[in-house]
Each structure stands twice: as C-alpha cells, then as structure tokens.
Amino acid sequence: MICGKLMTTSLGALLALAAIFNASSVNAQTLKAVKDRGALNCGVSEGLYGFSARDKNGNWTGFDVEMCHAIAAAIFDDPGKINFVPLDASRRFEALQSGSIDVLSRNTTWTMSREVDLGLSFTATSYYDGQGFLVRRDLNKETALDLDGTKICVQTGTTTELNLADYFRTNKMLYGLVAASTLETAIKGYDSGQCNVLTADVSALFGIRLSLSKPDEHVILPDVISKEPLGPVVRQGDVQWFNIVKWVQFALVNAEELGVTSKNIDEALKSENPDVRRLVGVEGNYGERLGLTNDWAARVIRLVGNYGEIFERNVGVGSALAIPRGINQLWSKGGILYAPPIR
Ligand SMILES: N[C@@H](CCC(=O)N[C@@H](CS)C(=O)NCC(=O)O)C(=O)O
C-alpha cells in the first residue's frame, strides 16, 4: 500500500513535470526565432553615455549593450550577432510587446506595474540605481530639500517623473515641471536655462554631466530619492527565454565571485572547484537544459568577461564615468549583488 502510494505520488510528480516541460517547450519560440534570424534583437536606450551609446565608428557600446553581447555570446558564440534597436522611454515597452525586440536592456526600472499591467518580466537586476538631481554649482544647493520652488527638467514616460512628484509632495515643496519627451530635449532645456535642475537616475546623471560643455560647473546632489533596480526585460509566456536571459546575467555575477575572467577562462576549464566546473560547463549539462550548449557561460566569459569586467570597462572608476561599485559590488564584498548558484 505504502509502495502503491509512493508509485502514485511519483507518477503524479512525473506527469506534472511532463506538463510543465510541455508548457515551456510549447511557448519556447523566442530562442528558435533568434537562432533562425541569426541575430538577437536587443532594445537599448537612444544614447546614454556608459550604458548604451554609439562610438565614433557607429558601434553600440556600454554596460546595457554588453548585457546583449553576453546573451548573443551564449547563443551564437559570437557577441556581435545583434540588431540594436534604439528606443526612447515611451516606446520601449511597446517594442517588446509587439515582438520587434527579444529583450530590452535599457536603464529600465523593475516595478510592479510594468510586470502586472504590461505582460513583461524583469529577469534580474543588472544595476542597482536610484534617482538624483543635477544642479548648477553656482545655485549653491546642498541637498534635494533645498530645491523648493525650482524648475526641474525630467523625461516623461519614466519612473523619474513619478518619483519627482512623490518626493515634492512628501516634503511639501513646490516645483515647476519642465517635461521633455527625449533625454536630448531634457538636456537642452537644462543647458539653455529653461530649468535649473535636471533629475534622472544617478547613473545617467554621471554621463549627462560629462556631456555638458563645462561639467565642473554642475554637481550631482548627494540625495538618492528612490530605488531604481535596472535590468533586462522580456515578454511573459516564454519561460525558456526568460531563463536564458536571467541565467546569462547570473553567470556573469557567479563568474566574478568565483574569480573567473576573460583572461583566465582557459585555466578555469581545468579547475577542480566544482562551482567553477559547473559554471564553465565541464561538469553537468546545465547549458543543454537551458536550450543552449554546455559551454554557454564559458563563451560569455571568454568573449565578454564577467560582471566586474563589464562594469569596470564601461562605467567603473577607471572609466570616464568613474562610478564607484557601491551597492553594485558582490555581496561577498559588501554590496548586494547575489546570484543563485548553478547546480
Ligand atoms: N529608470 C527609469 C528612467 C529611464 C529613462 O528612460 N531615463 C531617461 C533619462 S536619463 C533616459 O535614459 N533617456 C534616454 C533615452 O530616452 O534614450 C525608468 O525605467 O523609467
């Protein structure tokens, strides 16, 4: 009887597993579409220095751009197989919903309504950000609480616009809203004196400040008024694709934690550390179970690097933006970056 009961339970479990497997394979169209097309369609910002911007040769570069390179490397063993689709704040979600992009990797904040109302899923946080204020130095403002009565430029269709209203309402302060539909117009508005404050994610403010004719005449106030967890977004309904985008990012973070870099990847293939062996695909078949090849993460690390390499190259203290790792440091080094294990 016990045995019979056990049999029923395990048969039930098997059937449930089969149903789950069928459901995820039925909906697994995105990877196939990407492979058939021979390129990943990746939505990025129209131009945000350090995160997604074109270089002198017209090539897309930046932290968000490299997240796309990492996904392409895992799929094609070639980080270049990407069609970049520049999108402003207002068009970004529609492009994902309509299927014109496979993934959005564009300084986009993970919020509840963007998941429950728009049919989208954030895969993980790639950059923990928060909203700040850029002001002219000669205004002598020391904190955001000194901004009562100022005119503030903000890009519409963003969480920035909403947080700004909350912050001023909570602190019983008034402001003049100078709404801009693109970042370019927001910066122009600030530069031409239509507003004396520009608000955006702090990461963006670092780049915006550098783009002004005299960066030293502008300061980023110390206050951070919101949580802006930024990360890649996919459409709901394709669990396989969701897992691929999510685990590529976790692999980047795990690689940094395990000390595996683009420079030592060949030694890592010979490592005896079981965590490293599973990461680089010489033990287990995690990549195949994801719909990729077992060297999926090794490809990413070899061709793009680990999370820390991507961060430093694009936005870190050695780059022009010079953003400290801060909370975007690994959990084991005092930050909050924490990726689940590959096992
Ligand atoms: N993280 C915020 C703000 C994102 C956002 O679009 N910020 C603007 C202002 S910095 C931007 O990146 N603009 C560049 C563009 O539209 O290409 C959100 O998800 O709503």
pLDDT along the chain (343 residues), means of 10: 40 43 62 98 96 96 98 98 97 97 98 98 98 97 98 97 98 98 94 96 96 94 98 98 98 98 98 98 98 98 98 98 97 98 98
Total residue count of the chain as it appears in this document: 343
Which atom of ligand 1 is nearest the CA belonging to 159? 20
What is the value of pTM for the model shown? Answer: 0.92
Is residue 89 within 6 Å of ligand 1 at its C-beta?
yes
Structure tokens at 141: 């403002």
Alpha-carbon dihedral 6, 7, 9, 14, rounded to 10 degrees: 140
Which atom of ligand 1 is nearest the CA belonging to 230? 1
Is residue 159 within 6 Å of ligand 1 at its C-beta?
yes
| CA distance linking residue 227 with residue 110, whole number of Å | 9
Residue 28 has what pLDDT? 79
Which atom of ligand 1 is nearest the CA belonging to 108? 19
Q: Is 250 exposed, middle or buried (0-12, 13-18, 19+ CB in 10 A)?
A: buried
The total of other beta-carbon atoms located within 10 Å of residue 186's CB is 26
Residue 207 has what pLDDT? 94
At 136-158, the pLDDT tens digits run 999 999 999 999 999 999 999 99
Beta-carbon contacts of 192 under 8 Å, excluding residues fewer than 6 positions away, are none
53-54 and 60-61 strand pairing: antiparallel
- The β-bridge partners of 337 are 330
The total of other beta-carbon atoms located within 10 Å of residue 211's CB is 15
CA distances from 159 to 152, 195, 227 (A): 15, 19, 10
What φ, ψ does residue 273 adopt, rounded to 5°?
-70, 120
Alpha helix (H) ranges present in the chain?
2-26, 30-37, 63-76, 92-97, 112-116, 159-170, 183-191, 202-211, 239-257, 265-268, 274-280, 286-289, 296-303, 307-314
Is residue 46 within 6 Å of ligand 1 at its C-beta?
yes
Is residue 123 within 6 Å of ligand 1 at its C-beta?
no
Give the up-direction half-sphere exposure of residue 55: CA atoms within 13 A in the CB hemisphere.
Answer: 8
Which atom of ligand 1 is nearest the CA belonging to 48? 14
Is residue 153 within 6 Å of ligand 1 at its C-beta?
no
At 285-309, the pLDDT tens digits run 999 999 999 999 999 999 999 999 9
- How many angstroms does the Cα of residue 6 sit away from the middle of ligand 1? 54
Structure tokens at 36: 């058939």
The total of other beta-carbon atoms located within 10 Å of residue 178's CB is 18
Residue 300 has what pLDDT? 99
The total of other beta-carbon atoms located within 10 Å of residue 240's CB is 17
40-45 and 103-104 strand pairing: parallel
Residue 8 has what pLDDT? 43
> 246: closest CA among 110, 82, 80, 78?
110
Structure tokens at 128: 């923990």
